Chain A
Amino acid sequence: MRKAKTLLSVYLAYMLEYRAELFLWALAGVLPLILLGVWTEAGRSGDFPLSPGEFARYFLMVFLVRQATVVWVVWEFERDVVEGRLSFRLLRPLDPFWEHLAAHLAERLARLPFVVLLTLLFFYLFPEARFRPEPLPFLLGLLLTGLAFFLRYLMQYTTAMLTFWSERATAVEEVFFLLYLFLSGTIAPLEVFPEPLRHLALLTPFPYLVYLPAALLAGQEVSLFPGLWVMPLWGVVFLLLWRWLWRLGLRRYSGMGA
């Protein structure tokens, strides 16, 4: 407990050193708000299963979910390995997984004020997005947002393990990101996907990283199945994969530059 508290407080202090950058990072995540404008306009045609107001609410929630689930650990880990800084982390009796996780959680706290500010601004600009959420789905959406963060972190951390082999695991992450962008519901809600593609997407981990929590938060009618078993299943797969690659990777690590 003391470990977690100290890690969070030190990394919060560290993140607050980068206030201006945090604001810019939060701002850089406004893609869903641009798509909000596009889809709301398209929604007016009446050709889509969601109304303009529902589109607006959905993309606003996509913005919030993405802000809460931003992960960059693969870049950090790659730098650690290439520059030999991983050596220091390996010398400590704490798996680097937890230290990076603490940094991410601390960053989330530091980012919060900017996110609230941006949300208020968009409620002002898009009055049709304003709504009174139903408590239960909203709480479930919050819970799933938390789980989405952990799953995304775990997925990216597993990808980061490839640094032991290629030194540029970020290239693999870029490919994953493309799938993520398309299949997670960031660009379009799954309701507008063709039926077969939607079923296929729901078997991948991506819709649970954005679509499911965002749709719940936006108060849309969504089916929790197959999500409730697909999401934990992917969690277990990546957990096992991470541990396996970590053990193999450490045997290959050469402590470059250190």
Chain B
Amino acid sequence: MREAAIVLAQDLTKHYRVALKEESLLATLRHFFFREYRTVKAVEGVSFAIAPGEVVGFLGPNGAGKTTTLKMLTGLIHPTRGQALVAGHVPWRREKAFLKKITLVMGNKQQLIWDLPAMDTFRLNAAIYEVPEGEFRNRVGELAEMLGLQDKLHQPVRKLSLGERMKAELLAALLHRPQVLFLDEPTLGLDVNAQVAVRDFLRAYNRRYGATLLLTSHYMADIAALCPRVLVIHQGRLLYDGALEGLLERFAPYREVGLTLERPLPREALAPYGEVRALEGREAKLLVPRERLTERVAEILKRLPVEDLEVREPPLEEVIARVFQNPLPVEEP
């Protein structure tokens, strides 16, 4: 896989020096003359390989090091240590051939020129990326159709809705038809419909052009819908690299049992069968260890007045939250 990898990270590490300051007048004065610094280990020895055409989700809480890793892979920042190879290039050398093969979409930032129609930014990008005029028209037409954006291209960007703006951002970022797409929270702040539209587009784009996608998202639905493989990063270190189902197996050794009871029962009556996660009227949710599932379900059916019973995977959000509850040392003075 390493030979064929289009994105390769080896021992990728980024440490930042951050000035420390306490809040008081004296501390402010001291800070003015003598600065104290500490080192923040934003990313620590991260290694992985992604094959061409793969769609990989990058999971981690805020400050875990996802964005820093993306910045290193797109050549925006230099690593403190380690190596990376993206589409055959060392990213931070920022060679033109490399920049033409990649793109980075940031949900919290925009490249579109605010006061002009999106079409002007597209024209600008086409010229900068040296996309021939005819090809440019074709690509805008094709991508605008996939995104359902045809009638919005000539309106000033500031008049577009958030969802439309994100779609236009995607169009601007993909005009040069990059092989590798890095997406940092591409659905941030979008309503459910717009989230689904962006997700569908990314899936279609990956299928149509065989592009490789590495995306971060706080919305598990994005990850579940798009990414067969996930990387989990926490406090700068890679905790997991593998299939999404495997993540559930490894970090969620339990199942959720949903019950509809014939009559309401007190919490104590349910507690012997598992961890009661919710109880409202006749509806209850229990967490049951996977290895004892059969036995517990049999007991429930035997002893409790159950009208309906359903065994489910626990919600992905909950699994991830559990993974991240385990703190690791991350900073040193």
Contact = CB atoms under 8 A, between A and B. Distances in A.
A84 B109 contact: yes
Contacts, number: 70
Contacts of A85: 109
Contacts of B25: none
Interface string B99-111: 1101110101101
Given A84-B109, A85-B109, A255-B76, A93 B96 contact: yes
A225 to B, nearest CB: 41
Size band of the interface chain A makes with B: 20 to 34
23 contacts: A2-B127, A3-B128, A3-B130, A6-B124, A6-B126, A7-B127, A13-B116, A17-B116, A85-B109, A87-B76, A87-B104, A90-B76, A90-B94, A91-B99, A91-B102, A92-B99, A92-B128, A93-B96, A93-B99, A251-B78, A255-B71, A255-B76, A258-B109
> Which A-B residue pairs are the 9 nearest by beta carbons?
A6-B127, A93-B96, A93-B99, A88-B111, A17-B115, A255-B76, A94-B128, A3-B127, A10-B124
Interface string A224-258: 00000000000000000000000000110111011
B195 interface: no
A84 B111 CA distance: 11
Interface in B108-142: 108-109, 111, 113, 115-116, 120-121, 123-130
Contacts of B113: 10, 14
Interface in A37-86: 84-85
Interface of A: 2-3, 5-7, 10, 13-14, 17, 84-85, 87-88, 90-94, 250-251, 253-255, 257-258
Given A7-B124, A14-B113, A93 B74 contact: no
Contact of A258 (B106, B116, B121): B106
A91 B103 contact: yes
Given A91-B99, A258-B106, A250 B78 contact: yes
Contacts of A88: 109, 111
Contacts of B160: none
Contacts of A90: 75-76, 94
A254 B75 CA distance: 11
Contacts of A3: 127-128, 130
A69 B112 CA distance: 28
